[in-house]
Amino acid sequence: MTTIDPSIGTDRARAIFDEELAGVASAAALQELRNRWMARSGSWVAAFMDLIARATPDQKKALGRGANELKKHVEVALADREAALSATRRPAGAVDVTLPGRAPRLGCRHPLSLVREEVGAIFSRLGYQVLEGPEIEDDYHNFEALNMPAEHPARDMQDTLYLANPLTPASYAPPTRGLAPRAPQPLTLLRTHTSAMQIRQMERHDPPVRLVAIGPVYRRDNLDLTHTPMFHQVEGLVVGRGITLADLKGTLTSMAAALFGPATRGDESARSGQAPLVRFRPSFFPYTEPSAEVDIRCIRCGGEGCPMCKRTGWLEILGSGMVHPAVFEYVGYDPDEVTGFAFGMGIERVALLKWGVEDIRLFYENDLRFLEQFGR
Amino acid sequence: MKVLLSWVREFVDIDEPAEAIGRKLSLRGLPLEALEPMSDDALMDFEVTANRPDCMSVAGIAREIAVVYGLPFRAPHSAWPEAGASPSPAAAPPIRISIEAPDLCARYVGAVADVTIGPSPAWMADRLNACGVRPISNVVDITNYVLLELGQPMHAFDHARLAGPAIVVRRARAGETLRTLDGKPRALAADMLVIADAERASAIGGVMGGAESEVSASTRRIVFESAWFKPQSVRATSRALGLRTEASMRFERGADLTAPAVAMARACELLSQLGAGTAGPLLDVYPARHQPAVLFLAQPRVEGLLGMHVPDAEIVRILEALGFGVEPVPGGWSVVAPGWRVDMHRDVDLIEEIGRHHGFEHLPATFPGVQQAPAPSDPRIARDARARRVALAAGFSEAISFAFIEARHAEPFQGGEAPVALANPLSEKFAVMRPSLVPGLVGAVSHNRRHGRRDVQLFEIGTRFSARGETRAIGLAWTGLATPDHWSGGRRDVDFFDMKGVVEQLASLFDVEISARAPAEGSVAEAVLVPGRAAVLVSGDRSIGWLGQLQAAIGDAHDLPANDVVYVAECDLDALSAAVAPARMTTPLPRFPAAVRDIAMLVDESLSAATVRGTIRSKAPSTLVGVTEFDRYQGKGIPDGKVSLALRLTFQSLERTLTDSEVEAATTAVVDLLTSELGAVRR
């Protein structure tokens, strides 16, 4: 520490002060520094005052100005440092606020459950009732009433899993209308589609109908990248006077936009706002006529063509059509009075596309490293 | 259906490249699955839906292309004779043809031909090869060529091998057998249709010919067959025999009743064109002639169903180009379906044709009007969502597992009942429907543990299956730490009461009061849980579920690492929601303060908290409103076999503030009760 010697001049003294201040790290050291420079006696400032007192009148003015500037500088610098020090001072009982909090563990949602809920919410908003139904079905509701009588070749489209021993329904309320057998039917199979719920609902309720049925379905498909023997479907059905295929297109357009968000809408300016979001390709299902496979504009490239859409600009998403008049006859609706549309979409398919999952089997492994990617 | 572009061009003058054709047809109902370019040709593979057997032929695909491009469709050769006409002078004696089962065979066209067996010319062999059919000999190749070209399956018998010589179309006889062309002996059932000679079966109608009457190098005379078999019968036979052939696939979807004679004429023409032989007259057994479907198409119905306007002229153009006869009648059209359109039954079938060929891309996007308020949704959806929130908030991640599991995994969870087993499972791993969600969860825990996860908390909400039907449940599994690692310590493994707390929260979510008991003998809980760390949950006399520590043997069966302690629980959500009490009215807030007294009692360690609580409740002073166990201590100062139970008693009156002496008296009453009833001693 430099000996107090005002003869070195205020400029030099000021440099010494700055050096000493830089070495101060605690409130105590700061107080010591303050005393050494500002105390009424024995400090640097006091020494300069003595020097001024003893100076000649013409020296006094210059010395006085220099000493005042030094004093002011020291005061300001000390105050600044004090403020800075007090800002980092920990009060009694202080905690390290940067340590992690004691957070209760939160579980993660399953992606299929997220899509299921989202689809349900979209259609609830559109005024649909959301239904679930039995997973073990009778042949009548899964096939026959959907215009697939025994030996219908379309039954080959869905390889069915059968029960070793048919079950008898626990409770049975015969349908009030339609061609359904009035006696309980043996439950012989795992439903191959949620379409069975269409029949169950229609044979008990008058039109109009506006429903989605969601849940697991089963087919005898071997496990691979794109197939699992159990998967989830959402089935939509709207029946009433004057329902058209164009209504189906509008409904599915709205669903696609809600489900896939801005990605599906793509770059509006680039596509001049006119390009459709969904595309219908004629197809065949025994329970709809006309029938259509529905594609959505590729959610990755917006239709330009990319590996995800195999350079077609379109992604296949669901099967649909106008309810076959024969189905209406099975459930006791008059096909001359009402028309309707129906669609069936794979929940896994939506999830695969939405999150770019490449192996459908991941949905059934329940690996936390996978599930944790879908948020909480 | 694989077709060569060059072959298609024999029916329609199409100049477009195969790729462009494929793109266009994909939007008209015939998706192009694969395209194989060849030197100055292309092999197009179209996916044909089950309702369009007419497109399982070159001609059928060509007709669709003609409609799509607005080009004329034409018969391939001018020499194509009219049905029933004789293609060549009679060179061979006729054969006796009789149909004894006209319900299964509506038409049988035969022709006898003298032939010289040899290889087919290169052009024919190349076409067959390209379409995936192995050339065999000129006669056999002709039947396959006609099948591919016109979609009509044909067969050739060696005339010398047919006893009679006769063709008898009949049902198989009891115990009858036949060795088919693939060399396999087939046991025939009585409902199967066979083509027999005077003595025995020579072919399975519409499925496959017999080896005995197969055309060979030494064959000199043949009988060509071109027939119509009933779809349901062919399908049933093909399935029963596990024998799918090009012929059966076409017959089971529905063949054209008007086609057999046309195809026969084509085959006989090819025979002479190849110099392979000369055929006798066409022998056409056709007991009941085809009645074409005549449909009325109401004009407003087209727009009424599609929601898009299609001009009348366009409607007529599309239908006529597809081969329909269209006659204007008041209010619409009378439409006659061609024989190959076996899928035409109603006006909607016509409207689909109009819609798809006019183009679904012209459909506007409209919205169905709402006529009434939506009906309520399945209440299980909202209920399950609430249960899901509780589980997530308690740290459990959501699992979804296959509903079918291994029989050995299901067995301990069946409670002695028979499983719901599958008749045709994919494998042993998917043999029975799960009686519980827990086996699937344990499998998932095991998967995560084996992939380096220390702490695993999983739940699943799903269906359980038993012979009594389906129930919805929530299953939970928990291994590892009770709470996440934290710098402040408190590190502890999950125990019984962590899991019980979650289950209690679930029950409180539904406002259902549950109590726990030791599992009964023979129960699922007893079969799968560690004794002494197992409980069943009841609400009144309704069983709600069970929880406890999983037995090591169950974990072993799922390859769970040894020494892993897993707590599991399952609650029947249907039972839980059924136990929900009707919504309650609120009670006014108490206006007078409560008094709290703590007591510590020495009791037998075997005495359950439920017994203590029950005893207090049974005779407690009316001012006692709450009992909480807040400490349980064994160790220094406590005699062996005893436990110090600390209870917090809350007293309150709705009418007034209780005096100290009243509270004291009430506390003493509780202590006395425990002393007299349970032999407890106050500490």
Subunit contact B29:A247, Cβ cutoff 8 A: no
Average pLDDT over residues B68-78: 79
- Is 3.30.56.10 the CATH number for B2-69? yes
Q: What is the predicted pLDDT for the residue at B208? A: 94
Q: What is the mean pLDDT of the segment spanning B62-68?
A: 96
For chain B, percent of residues with pLDDT exceeding 70: 97
Chain B contact set for A104 (CB, 8 A): 393, 395, 483
Chain B residues closer than 8 Å to A303 by CB: none
Mean pLDDT of B411-431: 94
| Cβ neighbour number for residue B378 with a 10 Å cutoff | 19
Q: pLDDT for A94-111, tens place per residue?
A: 888 899 998 889 999 999
- The pLDDT of residue A309 is 86
- Token pair listed for A373: 């990617």
pLDDT digits (tens, 9 = 90+) for B292-349: 889 999 999 999 999 999 999 999 999 999 999 999 999 999 999 999 999 999 999 9
User: Given a cut of 60, is residue B33 above it in pLDDT?
Assistant: yes
**CATH of B294-360 among 3.30.56.10, 3.40.50.11540, 3.90.420.10, 3.40.1170.60:** 3.30.56.10
pLDDT of A265 over the 60 cut: no
Q: Residue B96: helix, strand or coil by DSSP?
A: strand
Contact between chains at A135 and B463 (C-beta distance less than 8 A)? yes
**Chain B interface, best mutation among A366, A373, A374, by max B CB count within 10 A:** A366
Nearest CA in chain B to A133: B378
* Phi, psi for residue B126 in degrees, rounded to 5: -65, -45
For residue B502, what pLDDT is reported? 96
Name the minimum distance, in Å, from the CA of A86 to any CA of chain B.
Answer: 28
Fold of B595-682: Alpha-Beta Plaits (3.30.70)
pLDDT, residue A180, reads 85
Q: Do B459 and A131 touch (CB under 8 A)?
A: no
Per-residue pLDDT for A154 more than 60? yes
Look at phi and psi of residue A39 and say left if phi exceeds 0, alpha if psi is from -120 to 50, else beta: beta
Q: What is the pLDDT of residues A184-238, one digit of tens each?
A: 889 999 999 999 899 999 998 999 999 999 999 999 999 999 899 999 999 999 9
> Chain A within 8 Å of B368 (Cβ-Cβ)?
yes
pLDDT digits (tens, 9 = 90+) for A161-189: 999 999 987 777 778 788 888 888 899 99
B368 and A238 within 8 Å at the Cβ level: the answer is yes
List CB contacts (< 8 A) between B558 and chain A.
none
Could you read off the pLDDT of A8-29 as tens digits, one per residue? 888 898 999 999 888 888 888 8
Among A237-246, B20-29, B78-87, B276-285, the minimum mean pLDDT is found in B78-87
Burial class (CB in 10 A: 0-12, 13-18, 19+), A76: exposed
DSSP B638-664: S-TTEEEEEEEEEE--SSSPPPHHHHH
**Intrachain domains B379-578 and B595-682 with the same fold:** no
Cβ neighbourhood burial of B477 (10 Å; 0-12, 13-18, 19+): buried
Q: How far apart are CA B379 and CA A103, in angstroms?
A: 33
What's the mean pLDDT in B510-526?
A: 91
DSSP per-residue string spanning B256-316? -TTHHHHHHHHHHHHHHHTTSEEE---EEE-SS-----EEEEEHHHHHHHHSS---HHHHH
Q: What is the pLDDT of residue B92?
A: 52
Alpha helices of B457-608 — where are they, by DSSP H? 496-509, 524-528, 552-557, 573-578
CATH 3.40.640.10 matches B96-285: no
Tell me the average pLDDT across B96-112.
Answer: 94
What's the CATH architecture for B379-578?
A: 2-Layer Sandwich (3.30)
- pLDDT at residue B82 tops 60: no
Question: Where in chain B are the domains?
Answer: 2-69, 96-285, 294-360, 379-578, 595-682
Mean pLDDT of chain B: 92
What are the distances in angstroms from CA B539 to CA B60, B395, B471, B535? 67, 25, 17, 13
Return the H-helix or E-strand segment holding B58: helix B58-69
Q: What value does the mean pLDDT take over residues B592-607?
A: 93
How many residue pairs from chains A and B have C-beta atoms closer than 8 A?
266
Q: What are B546-568's pLDDT values in tens digits?
A: 999 999 999 999 999 999 999 99
CA B617 from centroid of its chain's CA atoms: 54
Contact A103 B484 (CB under 8 A): yes
φ, ψ at B665 (rounded to 5°): -60, -40
Give the burial class of B208: count Cβ atoms within 10 A of its Cβ; 0-12 exposed, 13-18 middle, 19 or more buried: buried
Q: Are A143 and A136 in contact (CB under 8 A)?
A: no
Are A290 and B484 an interchain contact pair (Cβ–Cβ within 8 Å)? no
Cβ distance B377 to A246 less than 8 Å, yes or no, reads no
A261: pLDDT strictly greater than 90: no
Confidence label for B80 from pLDDT (cuts 50, 70 and 90): very low
What is the per-residue pLDDT for A97? 87
